[in-house]
Amino acid sequence: MAGESQYLKADGCLVSARVRGNQEALARADDRESTVALFQYLDPTVLPGYLKTDSLRWGEDLEAPERRVEVLLLEQAAPGGRATAVMARLFATAGSSVYVSVSCPDAPSLAGARADVATRLQVLPPSN
């Protein structure tokens, strides 16, 4: 839906992944600053100190040695007691972003769903 893919697991976890272009208005000096700007655009209460570093699989070639791309991670409790994690990266030069959210009924389910995302989701290099 509108460039977003959603996956609902049997345990009630919902994973949403989006890739967006035309993000130049949020681009800053580097990818990290740009990604912080993306989080703050989506939620102005997010402070840079809330964000942790994580990574996702980079590229499609499953035969090649695994490569990873750094993302910033925000973990928080969601309404209704759900546990959520948001992983994102804004590629400043390309003006594109990847945004992945994982929402689960509880923290143990979230840990398992995040592990699945880290194993199965592949981020493709942005195209200019």
**pLDDT band with cut points at 50, 70 and 90 for residue 10:** very high
What per-residue confidence (pLDDT) applies to 2?
55
State pLDDT tens for residues 34-64: 999 999 999 999 999 999 999 988 877 777 7
- In sequence order, which residues have a C-beta less than 8 Å from that of residue 115 and are 6 or more positions away? none
What per-residue confidence (pLDDT) applies to 81?
81
State pLDDT tens for residues 99-109: 999 999 998 99
Residues 56, 46: Cα–Cα separation, whole Å: 21
Q: How many CB atoms lie within 10 A of CB 12?
A: 13
The pTM of this model reads 0.85
**CA dihedral for 37, 73, 6, 60, sign (positive or negative):** positive
Q: Which residue has the higher pLDDT, 114 or 2?
A: 114
